[in-house]
Amino acid sequence: MKGVDRISGLPDSILGHILSFLSTVTAVQTSVLSTRWRDLFTLVSALNFEFEEQHMDWSKRHKSSTVKNFMCFVDRVLFFHRANVDKFRLKCGKRVDSDRIYGWISVALWRGYKHLDLNITLDKFTLPGALFTCRTLVTLKLDIGFVLDVPKGVHFPNLETLQLNSVEFFNDNSVINLFSSCSSLEDVVISRCNMKNISSFNISHHFLKKLTILDLCNSSKYWLMIDTPNLAYFRYNNCIIAGYSLENLTSIVCADIQFQIKDDDDLLVDITDFSKVFCIVGSLTLSLYSLQLLLRCESLPVFSTMIKLKICSGYHRWLKDGGLETLLSRSPELEKLSFPREALRSLPEEVPSCLLFKLKAIEISFFENNEECIRKAKYIIKNGGALENFTIFTYGYGDEKERLKISKVLLASPRKSNKCNFLIVCIVLLIYCLLFRTILFLVSKDK
């Protein structure tokens, strides 16, 4: 029926749920639509307060009034809000009063919010003590630019997801206290944290299922110690550190290990403990650096459970003692393989059994129309008995004639599998297509 406002006729609970998908500022702005909408913003189940100081290029007086308006806005929303809130997100910087921030976090904890996301940039700030004994928290995300000192007696009985970004740990005991307090923890992300006060970074948890460690900074003299018998997913992208101790990692299904190597001395590090993890995974992602470290282990294990392997690109000068061919000979069940052309250093005389009987999909990136690359591709299609999809990614602005030459040569070469399909893709053209589609999407969204 024309002229009928069906949305306003919905129950308050449904309208509050709809407004929860909007930013808190937009949700509050709906209060001016009519008397029906005046108080509906108080029913949203997610509060998101964000104050971007880096974009403030106005006068000092204007900055001061803007900061004051933001603080008053947060105060009013928290005062009038009467619904049960599940998510509370706060992002602000140094210009916002630290006492107000402390009060807002305390209110969120007192009201029993389940998902807390704090992105705070302050030189000195102490989190409310109630945070460390909050029984309702299910998700805790901390992106804070100050020292995190976790006291004894911490208790997060329902915390399942923990994300720490740009945190500086006070000492080793802070790390131990934190992880020992989370009896239900399943997913942990440690990213860009300051490790200068740490000698042993100990993650020991019986129920942890996912662990991600990325770009830890300001020190490489600490040990990483992991004891997680139920861990299924492990991602490690970090520089070489003093040492590693990985125990009871018997449930790993997927691993992504990318060491960041700075000089030749890093290649002398022993990663035997990591090789124990590799030999039980089903899916493995390695950088070229990680591959070289793995190949330098005294006894290379058999990867009897690995079905999927991806080698990420990097500086191939690190490959001095063999390459992917060594790993293939130890991976009898491999079905999917992706690697840059430089990872395959030589063509083994004895064809790996996985290539003869198991490999169904292979991708080669940074492929060029030269004798070496063509020889590697011919070797694969000649011996790939189970090969179904063979994808080649060329790099550059994509000369169509060059891609046609590659396809003609490969199509004319003998192949062992009659099911094999070839696909040659230009990476640069693919990136431009994706970028163009993204621009079209954003333009249409604005309209």
Of residues 189 and 404, more confidence is placed in 189
Residue 434, pLDDT score: 54
Higher pLDDT, 152 or 395: 152
The larger pLDDT score, comparing residue 80 to residue 157, is at 157
Between 312 and 65, the higher pLDDT residue: 312
Please tell me the distance from the alpha carbon of residue 251 to that of residue 245, in angstroms, as a whole number.
16
Q: Distance between terminal CA atoms of the chain?
A: 26
- pLDDT for residue 67 is more than 70: yes
Contact indicator for 334, 354 with CB cutoff of 8 Å:
yes
Q: What is the pLDDT of residue 163?
A: 97
Classified as helix, coil or strand, 243 is strand
Please state, rounded to an integer, the average pLDDT across all residues of the chain: 85
pLDDT of 160 reads 96
Q: Record the tokens describing residue 10, joined without a space.
A: 């919905």
Cβ–Cβ < 8 Å for 426, 398: yes
Q: How far is residue 410 from each of residues 53, 356, 374, 392, measured CA to CA in Å? A: 56, 18, 8, 11
Task: Indicate the range of 153-162, 311-320, 409-418 predicted with least confidence.
Answer: 311-320
Question: 18-22, 152-156, 190-194, 307-311: which has the minimum mean pLDDT?
Answer: 18-22
pLDDT confidence of 406, banded at 50, 70, 90?
Answer: confident
Average of per-residue pLDDT across 283-292 = 91
Highest mean pLDDT among 47-51, 155-159, 259-263, 269-273: 155-159
Cβ contact 315:288 at 8 Å? yes
Q: In a 3-state reduction of DSSP, which class is residue 154? A: coil
Contact (CB, 8 A) for 299 and 278: no
Which amino acid would we find at residue 265?
D
Say what the pLDDT of residue 281 is: 94
Predicted TM-score (pTM) of this structure: 0.86
Residue 69 contacts residue 95 (beta carbons within 8 Å): no
- Rounded to whole angstroms, the Cα distance separating 16 from 33 reads 15
Q: Where are the domains of the chain?
A: 11-44, 360-446
Distance in angstroms (rounded) separating the CA atoms of residues 283 and 294: 16
Give the separation between CA 445 and CA 385, rounded to whole angstroms.
48
* Rounded-to-10 torsion of CA 181, 220, 326, 368: 110
Higher pLDDT, 114 or 220: 114
Give the pLDDT score at 324.
92
Confidence of residue 433 (pLDDT cuts 50, 70, 90): low
Residue 430, pLDDT above cutoff 70: no
Residue predicted with more confidence, 262 or 79 = 79
Q: What is the pLDDT of residue 447?
A: 46
Residue 158 host element (H or E): none
Residue that wins the pLDDT comparison between 283 and 437: 283
Question: What are 15-48's pLDDT values in tens digits?
Answer: 888 888 887 888 888 888 888 888 787 888 889 8
**Max CA distance (Å), the chain:** 80
Write out pLDDT tens, residues 40-62. 878 888 898 988 765 555 445 45
pLDDT value for 284 = 96
